[in-house]
């Protein structure tokens, strides 16, 4: 594989925007193998086991990965943190092998992956207090009133009961987008492989509200 384009090597994609994770593995344009984890407390361990299982079934190990792509959110706060941590563990596994290029990392916004699979839809993620992270063709992603997403008059991908269908990422589409990003050199620096959160954590908001007025 020396000198080969990284996008033609083994690539792994991770979607952990919900309670359970889904992982996909393929090399180049081969068919994607998939695995999923059940909601559990050992999120990080289970995602790594799922990835390791796919690699071993293909006769490979984590250090053989040329790149990893992941849906960076918005989504489950814990799930996205686990996905980001898993990416870093895989990066270290690749880095432990001497004489190989670093692991390429491609974080794909979840709304982008959803709209690539459903171009005529609108997306509303992280719905809370009648606001959501919304996006659609011709509508830049952003935090807006949920009513604005409904007013677009398009099928709405949002968690029940807010949408017409659940926002489930197609792993094959995520793989295609991440592989294209790697091939174009649009890779993330390790320190930039962070989840996309539309709001600050609830605990931070509560803490700030309970602080005495600084003035």
Widest pairwise Cα distance in the chain: 63
Distance CA 139, CA 4 (A): 38
Distance CA 152, CA 63 (A): 45
Distance CA 81, CA 68 (A): 15
Distance CA 5, CA 183 (A): 7
The answer as to whether 141 is a domain residue is: no
**How many separate domains does the chain show?**
1
What's the pTM? 0.90
The answer as to whether 47 is a domain residue is: yes
pLDDT digits (tens, 9 = 90+) for 186-208: 999 999 999 999 987 665 556 65
pLDDT digits (tens, 9 = 90+) for 125-164: 999 999 999 999 999 999 999 999 999 999 999 999 999 9
Indicate the helix (H) or strand (E) that contains 144.
strand 139-145
- Those residues with Cβ within 8 angstroms of residue 95's Cβ, 6 or more apart along the chain or in another chain: 102, 103
CATH number at residue 77: 3.30.420.40
The answer as to whether 131 is a domain residue is: no
Q: Is 128 helix (H, G, I), strand (E, B) or coil?
A: strand
Length of the chain: 215
Domain that holds residue 175: 6-110+169-209
The answer as to whether 118 is a domain residue is: no
């Amino acid at each position: 594989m020396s000198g080969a384009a990284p996008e033609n090597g083994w690539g792994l994609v991770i979607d952990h925007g919900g309670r359970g994770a889904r992982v996909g593995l393929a090399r180049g344009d081969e068919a994607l193998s998939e695995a999923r984890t059940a909601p559990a407390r050992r999120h990080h361990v289970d995602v790594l086991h799922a990835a390791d299982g796919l690699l071993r079934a293909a006769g490979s190990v984590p250090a053989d990965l040329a790149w990893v792509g992941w849906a960076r959110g918005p989504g489950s706060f814990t799930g996205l943190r686990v996905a980001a941590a898993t990416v870093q563990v895989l990066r270290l596994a690749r880095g432990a092998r001497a004489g190989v290029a670093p692991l390429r990392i491609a974080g794909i916004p979840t709304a982008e992956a959803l709209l690539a699979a459903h171009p005529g839809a609108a997306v509303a993620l992280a719905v809370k207090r009648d606001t959501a992270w919304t996006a659609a063709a011709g509508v830049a992603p952003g935090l807006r009133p949920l009513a604005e997403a409904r007013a677009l008059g398009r099928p709405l991908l949002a968690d029940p009961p807010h949408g017409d269908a659940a926002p489930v990422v197609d792993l094959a589409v995520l793989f295609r987008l991440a592989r294209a990003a790697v091939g174009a050199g649009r890779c993330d620096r390790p320190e930039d492989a962070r989840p996309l959160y539309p709001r600050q954590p609830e605990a931070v908001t509560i803490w700030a509200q309970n602080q005495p007025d600084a003035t």
